[in-house]
Structure 1
Amino acid sequence: MSRPSRVTPSKVVIAQMVLSLGATLLWWLFYKPPGAAALSAFLGGAICWVPSALFAARLKKLSGAQTAMSWMIGEALKMGTTIAMFIAIAFWYHDVRWIPLLVTYLIALKTYWIALAWR
């Protein structure tokens, strides 16, 4: 009898990236004009997976020394990075399309639940 594969933070980040790229492609194909919408969608996905990748890298670095405080610091880093990325995009990317950005962000954000349900 084989054990079900474990859902690791790295696998979730990879799934977030794949879903983000898939959503970006869909926005490219079905939104006219596609350029700004696709880039906005990609950035929305990145707002989710970049902080998650930082958190996963932090967990990997800690290996056995994972305490409640290290998890809290990791989550704070994740939230701070997410907020900073939203602010940076709003400030510097004047052609942002908010609907593609937010929809793709939410799709990538819900990857955790999809991964848990899938196992």
Structure 2
Amino acid sequence: MVLSLGATLLWWLFYKPPGDAALSAFLGGAICWVPSALFAARLSAKSGAETIMSWMIGEALKMGATIAMFVAVAYWYKSALWLPLLVTYIVALKTYWVAMALR
């Protein structure tokens, strides 16, 4: 979440005009971390009943939420700038891999 906020700030500072770029970047980061937060909340609510099926359902919900958020941005935010949105999404998505590699 912090990384996507930092990327939003960078898009706001270095892109002209900054408003749509920063909002698009923020939405790109949110498309990454909101479904992940929903997945984590679902698993923590199960309190110990972590079966394979529970993980599969959680992952399916996460993918569905991600797709729904991309569609919602495309439908309702007509002035979205896709370069900042996708770059911030990919940066936030790859953060998980970097965090796992540093462990």
SS at match of 2:50: coil
Q: Distance in 1 between matches of 2:40 and 2:3?
A: 18
Residue from 17, 31, 34 that aligns with 1:47: 31
Counterpart of 1:22 in structure 2 is 6
Q: Please, what TM-score do these two structures have when normalized by structure 1?
A: 0.85
SS at match of 1:75: helix
Counterpart of 1:81 in structure 2 is 65
Counterpart of 1:108 in structure 2 is 92
Matched, 1:38 2:22: yes
Alignment-mate amino acid for residue 63 of structure 1: S
Which ranges of 4 or more aligned residues in structure 1 deviate by more than 3 Å?
A: none
Q: Distance in 2 between matches of 1:77 and 1:20?
A: 22
User: For 1:66-96, what per-residue CA distance to the aligned partner results, in whole angstroms no more than 9, with x for missing partners?
Assistant: 0000000000000000000000000000110
Alignment-mate amino acid for residue 101 of structure 2: A
SS at match of 2:61: helix
Counterpart of 2:49 in structure 1 is 65
**Structure 2 gap ranges (5+):** none
Judging by fraction of residues, say which structure has more helix. 2
Q: What CA RMSD, in Å, does the superposition of the two structures yield over aligned residues?
A: 0.5
**Structure 1 gap ranges (5+):** 1-16
Aligned-pair identity in percent equals 81
